Amino acid sequence: MTRIVRTAFILTFTAIAMLMVGPDLMLPWHPYSTFGLSVDRYGTIVRVNRVAATTGLRVGDRVELKRLHPVERARYMGVVPQGS
């Protein structure tokens, strides 16, 4: 009986762990949607893919962070203010 309970316990927590980690394992093959560009923390575009390049974006262009709402700017910078 103890062996069955222990096995069920291990299988249950292994399943929970796999459900939590599973989506992250799929990121190399199914990444989050992107806008086709990479931007550094100062708002300078550092990498542009073919789709974004056809819209006129180039490496070195800048995103105007000052025009963003302060909460959105903080999220862009990786800092989430309290209460949001």
User: Residue 63: what are its φ and ψ, rounded to 5°?
Assistant: -95, 130
pLDDT by position in tens, the chain (length 84): 899 999 999 999 999 999 999 888 887 777 676 778 888 878 888 889 888 899 899 999 988 878 888 887 776 665 444 554
What pTM did the predictor assign? 0.46
- Beta-carbon contacts of residue 62 (< 8 Å; ≥ 6 apart): 43, 44, 45
Which DSSP string do the residues of 29-56 spell out, in sequence order? TSPPP--SEEE-TTSBEEEE-HHHHHTT
- HSE-CB of 63 using CA atoms within 13 angstroms: 17
Q: Whats the size of the chain, residue-wise?
A: 84
Domain ranges of the chain: 1-29, 33-84
